[in-house]
Amino acid sequence: MTALKNDRFLRALLKQPVDVTPVWMMRQAGRYLPEYRASRAKAGDFMSLMQSPEFACEVTLQPLDRYPLDAAILFSDILTIPDAMGQGLYFETGEGPRFRKVIETAADVAALPVTDPDADLGYVMDAVRTIRSALNGRVPLIGFAGSPWTLATYMVEGGTSKDFRKIKAMMYDQPEVMHALLDKLAQSVTAYLNGQIRNGAQAVQIFDTWGGNLSSVAYLEFSLAYMKRIVDGLIREHDGRPVPVILFTKNGGLWLESMAGTGADALGLDWTCDIGDARRRVGDRVALQGNMDPSALYARPEMIRREVARILESYGHGEGHVFNLGHGITPQVDPANAGAFIEAVHELSAQYHTTA
């Protein structure tokens, strides 16, 4: 494979020296970019965009052509695995993702297959190879998957939910069914991420979007335990380099110490955590990624710069920080403000690094 021209993202995840703090944005290939909207219109709909390796490559590279980002992230969706399990993913305008089949019973869980990344999700593997080739060593490529708890939430609820009534009812009333579902999902996610790594992903992130809605005891049993199982099963070196693993639980600040004990290389933080406090809590066990409020990008560039400076100061000197938003960039953000954000991170962070 082509040597990396910019590896500061991977180095930061491994707490190695960098010249400036690396930066990327969750959902950096998305609706805030007019070129993305044009590609989506050309593809016809989101599913067609996502399932075409050529379109997936095109939109993955779009933010890199605009901004000096330090990583690319595969353009896909966390719900590819439930779709490959036969749940029938579709997107309703204004409603978000929906499934034609819903998991309700032990028999429904028993009928689910464990997915094979090459046989069942070949379009994603093709996209990873296509993107990695097109990057030509420009920056590393991040692969990703949803956490078992988050995927299960969509599969049981049938889509997004405000109260998570169905999934929590199953968890409390039929924990054995819940564990059976999470076990199949953990097996599928492990295989899926390893497939991405074998095909060219140089780091992977597990998105636990809904783990933060659980009680503390339930989070450890039904979310974190399965993410740890995935981490334990991942390929951790490929192409002669370590493959760092990032865990991100939205609203997960309560459990940082437990998350740091999973064996992951880095933890993603949402904006509700103070990153300096998080660093003190986890010590040198993991790198930290985050954690500016995406809504700060609605502010004027000078105010965005001020918020970047505050977060950098809170983290302090030394390695192990990847700058990111605390969640995905929102569609209404002015692309110029995203550019001001990235420029501020690179410019203001050099003082916190003594060696390159």
Share of the chain above pLDDT 90, in %: 94
Predicted local confidence at residue 85, as pLDDT: 97
Q: Is there a binding annotation on residue 317?
A: no
CATH number among 3.60.21.10, 3.30.200.20, 3.30.410.10, 3.20.20.210, domain 29-295: 3.20.20.210
Does the annotation count 77 as an active-site position?
A: yes
Confidence band for 355, pLDDT divided at 50, 70 and 90: low
Per-residue pLDDT of 100-123, as tens digits, reads 999 999 999 999 999 999 999 999
Does the annotation count 31 as an active-site position?
A: yes
Instruction: Report strand pairing: 203-208 vs 141-146.
Output: parallel
Tell me the C-alpha to C-alpha distance, in Å, between residue 42 and each of 45, 51, 59, 172, 188: 8, 13, 12, 45, 31
Predicted local confidence at residue 161, as pLDDT: 84
Predicted local confidence at residue 112, as pLDDT: 98
Does the annotation count 90 as an active-site position?
A: no
Q: Is there a binding annotation on residue 354?
A: no
**Helix (H) and strand (E) counts for the chain?**
17, 11
What are the backbone angles phi and psi of residue 155, rounded to the nearest 5°? -70, -35
Q: Which of 295, 302, 314, 310 is nearest to 343 (CA)?
A: 302
Instruction: Report strand pairing: 237-238 vs 241-242.
Output: antiparallel
Per-residue pLDDT of 44-80, as tens digits, reads 999 999 999 999 999 999 999 999 999 999 999 999 9
* pLDDT average, residue stretch 306-330: 97
Q: Report d(CA 140, CA 144) in Å as an integer.
A: 13
Q: CB of 229 within 8 A of CB of 154?
A: no
Among the options 8, 67, 70, 77, which is catalytic?
77
Q: Would you list the domain boundaries of the chain?
A: 29-295
Q: Which of 7, 13, 17, 15 is nearest to 354 (CA)?
A: 17
Per-residue pLDDT of 133-188, as tens digits, reads 999 999 999 999 999 999 999 999 998 888 999 999 999 999 999 999 999 999 99
Q: Report d(CA 251, CA 213) in Å as an integer.
A: 8
Residue appearing with tokens 């965005």: 304
Q: Residue 315 is which amino acid?
A: Y
Predicted local confidence at residue 1, as pLDDT: 58
Residue appearing with tokens 């590819």: 80
Q: Is there a binding annotation on residue 209?
A: yes
For the beta carbon of residue 310, count every other beta carbon within 10 angstroms.
13
Does the annotation count 40 as an active-site position?
A: yes
Does the annotation count 165 as an active-site position?
A: no
